[in-house]
Structure 1
């Protein structure tokens, strides 16, 4: 999430120079150039913990005229939406249009200072339409070298919950086989939904309970539930219940994660 409150944010809260979180662009920037800079900034901020692209201010963060509310016949906000969604994958973001400069410069009539605030992303990496990835390096947006892109992918892959499943004999009743959902990473999986397709005949009496909704699965709290008895596990789930080649499909999805 962005560390600023857009509801109350105004230009007086801008720093006096760009930093790793704020990037400034002058009102004198031609629209094609602004579009390209925004592509790169969205990629860079999404890949670097989030940040705000401010268009319509000078190098000191003071309004220097602003940009028109209409780009041709298109609303400025719609124009920005199209640009952000050209980044793959599009990150979460917020837009704010400021028409009051306060004590920070001046804004022309029918013009605004544009804020595009990109949230920290847990999905990546994010690629600009020119097929390059960008990051923030201090107060600059720069192309990410290949090893940086690989590191972003690796970090996000392992920071997200990764689930697997296994079968075991129930500890207190070894004639019963349980199916367990476990996480392979330290990140907890929140609001997990579990579905088995097709549901074994022995479980069809409880079909209405599926998908199972589990509040949390982490390294300390795996989830196990009874699915069969030992004598018919092969008939119910296949010849080798320890391999992913099992003919039955087990689906588990996450609504959110920490």
Structure 2
């Protein structure tokens, strides 16, 4: 220690000690307050100073803190003659390994979340065709982000998609397919929009669709319009039964009216 760093031959000031060991003055004051490391001498003017042994203790504290030990563990290592430093460090490594594993899992979740926001469904084209049927257009599915990417519903869809397994997609696809089959059967049986059978199917649709994102009745009305007017959707529903797209849209409208919603003024909210 050079003489210029001393206020006397016995030690250095708190500022100089902080600079020497690479911590802040505030940190040294805290360690002093809790009795972990204190300056052991005073100058004739009454100022407390850190001696060489004090500085060596500070350096050891810094080393163990950088290794991740808490202050209580550091105190035990330095002050308890029976403490096994190796065992303490091995325990710290074990805890670090757990943290690394947790961080790796977090990174994987973040990666899936990012991909879900960018791609929507985290299945390759082959898997999507296998699960959703040969008529499924995976390219059109990816284009959905262009239309809906800035919406809250897309974010909700992506958040759920990120954690959805292949088996869960299969289950959801099966539920949707069964619903669409039942819609076609309802049309065959002459059930009228607004009747109890049609209303029950509309409620089932809202329940199943809400697995993608929460679907309000007003939003369902907007979807019904799209099912009828969009060439792709109308072809899909009319491919199940001729006229199903219009029947389903009318059924959604009548169910909405029964709940006090005017389909003519319903908006996406």
TM-score normalised over the length of structure 2:
0.24
Structure whose residues are more often strand by fraction: 1
Q: Which has the higher contact order (CA 8 A, sep 6+)?
A: 1
